[in-house]
Amino acid sequence: MLHHIQKLHKHPEHVRERVAIGIAAGVTFIVFLFWASTLDTRLALFDLGGDTQAAAAANAPGLRVVNEKEPDSPATIIKEKVGDAYGSFRDAVGY
């Protein structure tokens, strides 16, 4: 890694800026993928179906709504999403 950094120092400044922007964009994209892959789990914790009885029970004093299914770990969700994306890509390409 140090070799690549030293090699990059020999390039003109506009090339170094382009590499820095590319690396920052790549890291940002990876963070976005992690965020997007866990979004469905976080949204599943909310009642988006408009079930008024469940919402009333959740707001009633002394009652607690328990999620019956434990959410999957982020690693499991990411693995599943990457597998789905790869499968979709293979289907689109025709392999």
Collect all residues with Cβ–Cβ distance below 8 Å to 72 and sequence separation of at least 6: 41, 80
pTM listed for this prediction? 0.44
Segment (H or E) for 70: none
Total domains present in the chain: 1
Tell me, what's the pLDDT at 68? Answer: 66
Strands in 29-86 per DSSP E: none
* C-alpha span between 1 and 80 (Å, rounded): 31
Q: Give the domain range for residue 6.
A: 2-93
Q: What is the pLDDT of residues 31-86, one digit of tens each?
A: 998 888 887 776 666 555 555 555 555 555 665 656 667 777 888 888 888 888 88
